[in-house]
């Protein structure tokens, strides 16, 4: 009798699995989900996502939602693998994610496409542009490469940024990443206390994503005649910025243990965003017993962290956590942060490298804390219609177990 019962249970199990098997066969429903990001890592809404089979036949087209998410629910493919293609039309221009970013995915079950494969490399359009090159003693092929200091002066303001060009192997020895516009570029070479200076070269910087998108700029600096009155009488040094401040309450008493987060103006100029450090995390500091904090070596950067020879406005948000899960917040005023290797004239650059952001906060203004800037929201779980199938399998297996136990008891 038990052999008969076991046979019945095995037959029912096979039948149940056979019922579920079509969900994983070619021509059966499956689901695909993912998230589209811009080159800064922000979600992109209203991007067109096209699901293709292995013959590049369009299965379905959807658009990303406000959080950059997209879903293909219970779609069917006539091939055993699928992929996606993504494009975005913005302000009359179309951006596409290169096809070599994408992989092929099995056309079965539930597939999640990593956001690392769906990042627009050229969107939004760059706000800054590269200029790079080397110093050469002669424009001809016989000219040798020399080291020196390269100066880049904006014709839109009085700031002059400089870089130390040390390579002499013919490779790029200086590089600037600056706002687009007209500039004057020139170099100095110091040798045995004598200064040699090149002629000024006017250039126009265009927006670009990478230095490989622009041509190299060569600066010709002859060593025939020393300059008796160079623009810079002494050789400049490399500098670092310092951001300091004291956090106090309304009565002027220092606030210890307050957490400060640094913000800078976004590339598009629409508002302030948390400033990221070299590790990718937000730049923060905690006040000491005197309410003081210090940040050292902070440079203005693009939204994705590239250092720029320019200035950006910055400000700071301070949070102080009280008992009972209450938080007090306050903003500092806005200040300009320059790239530190800059010449502003009349000693103004020294003051520009020492930025003070003091803050006063009222500890009586207690509010429930909102989402902290150090807490990134997690993406919601995708709405994939696979739960009913799993539930049916679980119920079916429980029924089989119950039937098996009942038949064996009856046989005994």
Nearest-angstrom CA–CA distance, 110 and 66: 22
Q: Which of the pair, 278 or 45, is modelled with greater confidence?
A: 45
| pLDDT score for 122 | 83
d(CA 48, CA 385): 22
- What pLDDT shows up at residue 400? 57
Residue 314 CB contacts under 8 Å (≥ 6 apart), including other chains: 243, 262, 263, 264, 265, 275, 300, 334, 335, 336, 337, 355, 357
Mean pLDDT of 335-364: 92
Q: What does the block give as tokens for 266?
A: 């976004």
Q: Which two tokens stand for residue 391?
A: 């539930």
* Average pLDDT over the chain, rounded to an integer: 84
pLDDT at 229: 82
Which CATH code is given to the segment(s) 129-220?
2.60.40.10
30-125 shares its CATH topology with 129-220: yes
Q: Could you read off the pLDDT of 185-215 as tens digits, one per residue?
A: 999 999 888 999 999 999 999 999 889 999 9
Note the pLDDT of residue 242. Answer: 97
The CATH number that domain 30-125 falls under is 2.60.40.10
CB 267 within 8 A of CB 293: no
How does pLDDT run across 79-110, given as a tens digit for each residue?
Answer: 999 999 999 999 888 999 998 888 999 999 99
Query: Given a cut of 90, is residue 8 above it in pLDDT?
Result: no
Phi, psi dihedrals of residue 249, rounded to the nearest 5°: -85, -175
Q: In the predicted model, what is the mean pLDDT of residues 373-385?
A: 36
Q: In Å, what is the CA distance from 200 to each residue of 150, 222, 228?
A: 11, 13, 16
Residue 399, classed as helix, strand or coil, is: helix
Instruction: Please tell me the distance from the alpha carbon of residue 286 to that of residue 266, in angstroms, as a whole number.
Output: 24
Across the range 27-44, mean pLDDT stands at: 92
Q: Name the CATH superfamily housing domain 242-361.
A: Immunoglobulins (2.60.40.10)
The ranges assigned to domains in the chain are 1-29+385-412, 30-125, 129-220, 242-361
Percent of the chain past pLDDT 90, that is, above it, reads 62
């Amino acid at each position: 009798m038990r052999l008969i019962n076991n046979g019945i249970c095995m037959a029912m199990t096979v039948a149940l699995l056979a019922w579920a098997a079509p969900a994983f066969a070619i021509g059966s429903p499956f689901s695909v989900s993912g998230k589209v990001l811009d080159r800064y890592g922000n979600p992109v809404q209203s991007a067109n996502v096209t699901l293709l089979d292995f013959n590049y036949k369009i299965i379905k087209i959807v658009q990303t939602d406000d959080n950059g998410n997209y879903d293909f629910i219970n779609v069917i493919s006539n091939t055993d693998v699928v992929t996606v293609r993504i494009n975005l039309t913005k302000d009359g221009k179309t951006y596409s994610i290169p096809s070599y970013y994408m992989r092929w995915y099995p056309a079965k079950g539930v597939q999640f496409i990593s956001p690392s494969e769906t990042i627009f490399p050229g969107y939004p359009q760059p706000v800054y542009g590269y200029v790079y090159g080397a110093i050469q003693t002669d424009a001809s092929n016989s000219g040798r490469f020399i080291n020196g200091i390269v100066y880049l002066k904006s014709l839109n303001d009085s700031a002059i940024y400089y870089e130390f060009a040390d390579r002499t192997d013919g490779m790029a020895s200086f590089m600037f990443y600056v706002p687009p516009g007209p500039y004057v570029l020139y170099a100095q070479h110091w040798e045995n206390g004598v200064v040699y200076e090149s002629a000024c070269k006017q250039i126009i910087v265009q927006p670009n994503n990478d230095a490989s998108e622009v041509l190299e700029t060569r600066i010709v600096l002859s060593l025939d005649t020393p300059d008796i009155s160079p623009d810079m009488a002494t050789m400049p040094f490399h500098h670092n910025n310092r951001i300091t401040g004291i956090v106090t309450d309304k009565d002027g008493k220092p606030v210890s243990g307050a957490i400060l987060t640094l913000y800078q103006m976004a590339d598009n100029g629409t508002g302030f965003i948390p400033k990221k450090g070299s590790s990718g995390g937000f730049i923060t500091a905690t006040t000491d017993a005197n309410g003081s904090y210090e940040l050292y070596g902070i440079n203005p950067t693009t939204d994705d962290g590239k250092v720029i020879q320019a200035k950006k406005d910055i400000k700071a948000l301070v949070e102080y956590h009280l008992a009972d899960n209450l938080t007090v917040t306050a903003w500092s005023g806005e200040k300009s942060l320059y790239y530190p290797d800059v010449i502003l004239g009349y000693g103004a650059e020294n003051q520009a490298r020492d930025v003070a952001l003091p803050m006063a906060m009222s500890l009586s203004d207690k509010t429930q804390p909102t989402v902290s800037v150090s807490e990134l929201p997690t993406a919601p779980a995708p709405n994939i219609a696979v739960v009913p199938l799993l539930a049916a399998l679980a119920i079916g297996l429980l029924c089989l177990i119950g039937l098996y136990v009942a038949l064996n008891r009856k046989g005994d």
